[in-house]
């Protein structure tokens, strides 16, 4: 039986966050963190708005989820993010001990797997969920950005 709460359902929520980032002129990456089929954190890139290179969607989501849970560990939580996390975000996810990471588009230049960054051994990683939609949004963003400059 398929419930409405599958990986695609939550990735759509992350894509909605990526759209918000797109509208703000941020690189369109969105993230949600889920525990027991409940979204406890929503975030998108804020690096331009905050003038902060660490304000990636994943970092914002980790902080929001930890605040919600009242602790630094994200046991039994799943991160849904539209783009493969970079090594900075992967490091933070490692330390958070998140249980599962689901991402859409692969980042062949800066993604944690390309950079050789390790994820916590107990963390399950699922790639390619709604990959096409996530990649198209990124592509559209960079085409528009090039055409404006």
Question: Which residues are catalytic, by number?
Answer: 58
Q: Return phi, psi of residue 42, to 5°.
A: -130, 140
**If we measure between CA atoms, which residue out of 60, 22, 56, 55 comes closest to residue 42?**
60
* Measured distance CA(106)–CA(127) in Å, rounded: 8
Contacts for 144 with CB less than 8 Å, ≥ 6 apart? none
| Cα end-to-end distance, the chain, whole Å | 49
Spacing of C-alpha 90 from chain mean position: 10
String of DSSP letters for 98-136:
-SEEEEEE--TTTBHHHHTPPPPTT-EEEE-TTHHHHHH
77 marked among binding-site residues:
no
86 labelled ligand-binding: yes
Annotated binding-site positions = 56, 86, 89
Annotated binding-site positions for Zn(2+) = 56, 86, 89
């Amino acid at each position: 039986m398929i419930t409405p709460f599958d990986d695609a359902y939550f990735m759509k929520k992350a894509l909605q966050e990526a759209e918000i980032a797109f509208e703000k002129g941020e690189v369109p990456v969105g993230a949600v963190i889920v525990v027991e089929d409940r979204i406890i954190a929503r975030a998108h890139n804020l690096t331009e708005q905050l003038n902060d290179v660490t304000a990636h969607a994943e970092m914002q989501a980790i902080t929001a989820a930890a605040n919600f849970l009242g602790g630094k560990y994200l046991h039994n939580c799943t991160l849904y993010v539209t783009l493969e996390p970079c090594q900075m975000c992967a490091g933070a996810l490692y330390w958070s001990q998140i249980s599962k990471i689901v991402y859409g588009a692969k980042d062949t230049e800066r993604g944690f797997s390309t950079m050789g960054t390790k994820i916590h051994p107990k963390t399950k990683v699922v790639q390619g969920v709604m990959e096409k939609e996530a990649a198209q949004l990124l592509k559209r963003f960079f085409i528009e950005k090039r055409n404006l400059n």
